[in-house]
A and B are shown apart, each in its own frame.
Chain A
Amino acid sequence: MSIDLISLALFPALLGLAIAALNVRDLLAAVFLLSAYSFLTALLMAHMGAVDVGFTEASVGAGLTGVFFVMAIARTSRRSGD
């Protein structure tokens, strides 16, 4: 069968994380959810055979972007109106 189970499980999780990240009012929480989203993406990439890309996404996308997000939030405000 053309659909493997890992994809079948990870994609809905991704969708859930994305929606959650967008709808949490605490921005710090949103950023952690986004990092989790990125990390799951990285997993999925690795699973799809793109180890290099997964590696990069994990270190750059989930890691550094997350850190930058936190920095930016620390210097601005943590609450979001929506």
Chain B
Amino acid sequence: MDIAAALAGRFEYVMTSALIVVGLHGMLSKQNLVKQLIGLNIMQTAIILLFISMSVQTGGTVPIIEKGTANVVYMSPLPHVLMLTAIVVMVATAGVAFALLIRIHARYGSLEEGELLGRTR
């Protein structure tokens, strides 16, 4: 199978996948907890983008029904709804994470993984 061609037709998917991997790589490779959180954020946003890409339709319009129009192609509304939820979940998670970061910093005076490890043991 011609994977390259298949991927070319799915440009958005490939790019969002790349963003997911970049975010996860950031989480795994960075020592700073804030950086890890940034990586997490990038990954979540990328997943949201992937969902949104799914809904795209050639010639599609914003899914708001105007009176008196017929045979209009709309972008799929369902992924939009789901992703509204996902965005809110994302910011909620971030909020809790910040609260934890502040507590960690208040206790250990650092947010670097290596230093924290030394101070907890």
Query: Which of A14, A27, A50 lies in contact with B19, CB distance below 8 A?
Result: A14
Main secondary structure of the interface of A (DSSP, over half): helix
A26-42 CB contacts (< 8 Å) to partner B? 27, 30-31, 34, 37-38, 41
CB distance from A28 to the nearest CB of B (A): 10
CB distance from B121 to the nearest CB of A (A): 19
Q: How far is the CA of A27 from the CA of B90 in the complex (A)?
A: 20
| CB–CB A18/B19 < 8 A | yes
CB contact under 8 A between A57 and B48, given known A49-B75, A50-B55: yes
| CB–CB A72/B101 < 8 A | yes
Q: Report the count of interface residues on B (CB-CB < 8 A).
A: 54
Residues in A neighbouring B63, C-beta threshold 8 A: 49
Q: Report the count of interface residues on A (CB-CB < 8 A).
A: 44
B39: nearest chain-A partner, CB-CB: A22
| CB–CB A81/B112 < 8 A | yes
| CB–CB B45/A15 < 8 A | no
CB distance from B97 to the nearest CB of A (A): 8
| CB–CB B34/A57 < 8 A | no
| CB–CB A52/B19 < 8 A | no
Query: Which of A3, A44, A56, A82 lies in contact with B49, CB distance below 8 A?
Result: A44
B80-111 CB contacts (< 8 Å) to partner A? 80, 83-84, 87-88, 90-91, 94-95, 98, 101-102, 105, 110-111
A54: nearest chain-B partner, CB-CB: B52
| CB–CB A22/B38 < 8 A | yes
B1-41 Cβ-contact flags toward A at 8 Å (1 or 0): 00000001101100100110011011001111011001101
